[in-house]
Amino acid sequence: MNTDATPQQQSAGPTTAWWTEAVIYQIYPRSFADANGDGIGDLPGITARLDHFVELGVDAVWLSPFYPSPQADAGYDVADYHDVDPLFGRLGDADRLIAEAHARGLRVIVDLVPNHTSSAHRWFTAALAAAPGSPERARYVFRDGLGPDGGQPPNDWTSVFGGPAWTRVTEPDGRPGQWYLHLFDPGQPDLNWDNPEVRAEFLDVLRFWLDRGVDGFRVDVAHGLIKQADLANWQEPQEILSGSEVDKPRPPMWDQDGVHEVYRDWRRLLDSYDGQRILVAEAWVEPAERLARYVRPDEMHQAFNFEYLTASWTAPAQYAVITRSLEATDAVGAPTTWVLSNHDVVRHASRLGLPVGTPRPNGIGVGDPQPDAALGLRRARAATLLMLALPGSAYLYQGEELGLPEHMTLPDEVRQDPTWERSGHTERGRDGCRVPIPWEADAPSYGFGPTDASWLPQPPSWAEYALDRQRDVPGSTYELYRTALRLRREHGLGRGSLYWLASGDEVVSFRNGDVTVLTNFGATPVPVPAEAELLHASAPLPDDGTVGQDVTVWYRAA
């Protein structure tokens, strides 16, 4: 083990506001729990299962969108920001969920989708009915097409889901007309954030949910609201959900400096409320210094750390990303965040079973290279223990506490992610991480709901992952998470500081408070000091007490 590295102190920030160290659990409502048995998870289903979060030991939940929506992108196409889709319940169900969560000491974060509305939003309907140049169209990004008959899109931008980022409309008089911009699905027209009316409307949306008691907002595509004014051609294909990258010019649609003014306005509003309400940026922005601009003191509170999520499973890569992440957020006085899975990426129990260095796949299906399931789970457990020992705030995605893999044999006919169609069947997309989760091994739909119905089929192999097969079972992934979360709280790891002890080719090790963390990526077993008190391990250690490959341990040095 290389222990030459000079111990380095890095801190999660001086404050201990709840969110600086919180573990926040992402609920994907349509796949969490289905109360009425129609095969789609709903708000009453979540409320009935709130004790799960207490038992698990998280601080807060974030819910993906539940607003009225045609569901062109699973609810990230919002038709009305002030209501609940009947699929998920009613507004009163949201109020009950918030109240019941608060009664259990849990905070509630909702999703805010400001980059685009649904094409079914009243504003977009009005824009289609109005003339080019009208105030109704000025809420969106409408432009005349190029070419003699305006038949070519206004620029060469492509949609994140594949295909052109522009769709031509039919004018009220029946003639082919202008084009509108949609960085995602055609059912998600981009708003024009240079328009004061748009800004005023979203302040109103924020107030609406703040008044209902939510503790914060996860801000969808936070790096996309402002586009370079000239909508200059970009030429590059749009990588799925990638933002700007190191050493490359910044794309004209992402991470424009103007976005920060929007978040400063929102922060002022949140600060006028009691409690500590937060804003979390979903911004696929690199490098970490650019991302840190979103969490400057007068802007958002947190930003998802996707550089961490995408880092390779090697000691040097993990050391580098942790160091860089802490440095970048320390520089602006914000806590760092950590995340391994969400509803947009292949679950980490499967992703980490692919050969190291495999580029992050956008879904895995029949015929694609399949991960090594056992290796994936072993690494996922090690990665989770490494993550939960880091100072800062951590995000968990529903089902990862069960060690749930990606569903990799979903029939292509049942896929619902627009990516599959729009990419011309070249990218399978995100359905495999969105399958309803198993609660009870022997119940219909594994206890997801009272019937067999499930909007995406659950694989037969999932009985073994069900919560009731893991609860109180020593060594289960669920108990691994519970113990880790309890120890994290008891030892104050979220608000601690990190001192590197080793950063070699095969091992990373650091101290956080009185806990020493060691992950072995290499084939050579690594001894734990003889007098150390072992606190937690991602896999059973052999009799000689050494730490094997792809294992993380937490111990207290004597």
The least distance separating ligand NOJ from the CB of residue 348, rounded to whole angstroms, comes to: 16
Which segment (40-48, 108-116, 308-316, 549-557) binds Ca ion by CB under 5 A?
40-48
With binding defined as CB under 6 A, does residue 319 bind ligand NOJ? no
How many residues sit in the footprint of ligand NOJ (CB under 6 A)?
A: 9
- Type of residue at 513: G
For the question of residue 400 being annotated catalytic, the response is: no
Catalytic residue from among 77, 220, 400, 401 = 220
Question: Which of Ca ion, ligand NOJ, none interacts with 255 (beta carbon under 5 to 8 A by kind)?
Answer: none
Task: List binders of ligand NOJ among 271-290 (CB under 6 A).
Answer: 282
344 binds ligand NOJ (CB under 6 A): yes
Q: Are 277 and 210 in contact (CB under 8 A)?
A: yes
Min separation Cβ 315 and ligand NOJ, Å: 30
Characterize the bridge pairing of strands 107-112 and 216-219. parallel
Single residue of 76, 209, 254, 294 touching ligand NOJ by CB under 6 A: 76
Residues 6+ apart with CB under 8 A from 216: 19, 60, 107, 109, 110, 270, 277, 278, 279, 280, 301
DSSP-derived pairing of the beta strands 176-181 and 142-143: antiparallel
385's CB contacts (< 8 A; 6+ apart) are 480, 484, 517, 519, 536, 537, 538, 552, 553, 554
Cβ 182 to ligand NOJ shortest distance, Å = 10
Nearest distance from C-beta of residue 159 to ligand NOJ, angstroms: 10
Does 354 participate in binding Ca ion (rule CB under 5 A)? Answer: no
Q: Which of residues 499-558 bind ligand NOJ (CB under 6 A)?
A: none
| Binding test (CB under 5 A) with Ca ion, winner from 23, 27, 34, 140 | 34
Per CB under 5 A, 38 contacts Ca ion: yes
- Residue 10 or 362: which CB sits closer to ligand NOJ? 362
Residue 164 per-residue DSSP state: B
Distance between CA 281 and CA 526 in Å, rounded? 38
Residue 144: CB atoms within 10 A of its CB come to: 12
506 among known catalytic residues:
no
Does 40 engage in binding with Ca ion (CB under 5 A)?
yes
Query: Are the C-beta atoms of 85 and 69 separated by less than 8 Å?
Result: yes
CB 192 within 8 A of CB 127: no
Through-space distance between the first and last CA atoms of the chain, rounded to whole angstroms = 19
Per-residue binding string, ligand NOJ, 179-208, x by CB under 6 A, is: -----x------------------------
From Ca ion, ligand NOJ, none, interface partner of 76 (C-beta below 5 to 8 A by class): ligand NOJ
Interface with Ca ion, residue 36, by CB under 5 A: yes
Based on the shown chain and the rule CB under 6 A, indicate whether residue 431 belongs to the binding site for ligand NOJ: no
Choice between 434 and 488, CB closer to ligand NOJ: 434
Candidates 220, 286, 400, 406; binder of ligand NOJ (CB under 6 A) is: 220
Contact 532, 547 (CB under 8 A): no
Shortest reach from residue 272's CB to ligand NOJ, in Å? 28
User: CA angle 234-308-23, nearest 5°?
Assistant: 125
One-letter amino acid at 38 equals D
Which tokens sit at 57?
A: 């030991």
The owner of tokens 């760092």 is 336
Catalytic site residue from 34, 73, 77, 282: 282
73 binds, among ligand NOJ, Ca ion, none (CB under 5 to 8 A by kind): ligand NOJ
- SS3 state at 88: coil
Q: Do residues 302 and 335 make contact, with C-beta atoms less than 8 angstroms apart?
A: yes
Q: Which does 381 bind (CB under 5 to 8 A by kind): ligand NOJ, Ca ion, none?
A: none
Asked if 432 contacts 346 with a C-beta cutoff of 8 angstroms, the reply is: yes
Determine the longest span between alpha carbons in the chain, in angstroms. Answer: 82
Which residues of the chain form contacts with Ca ion (CB under 5 A)? 34, 36, 38, 40, 42
Which residues of the chain form contacts with ligand NOJ (CB under 6 A)? 73, 76, 113, 184, 220-221, 282, 343-344
Active site residues: 220, 282
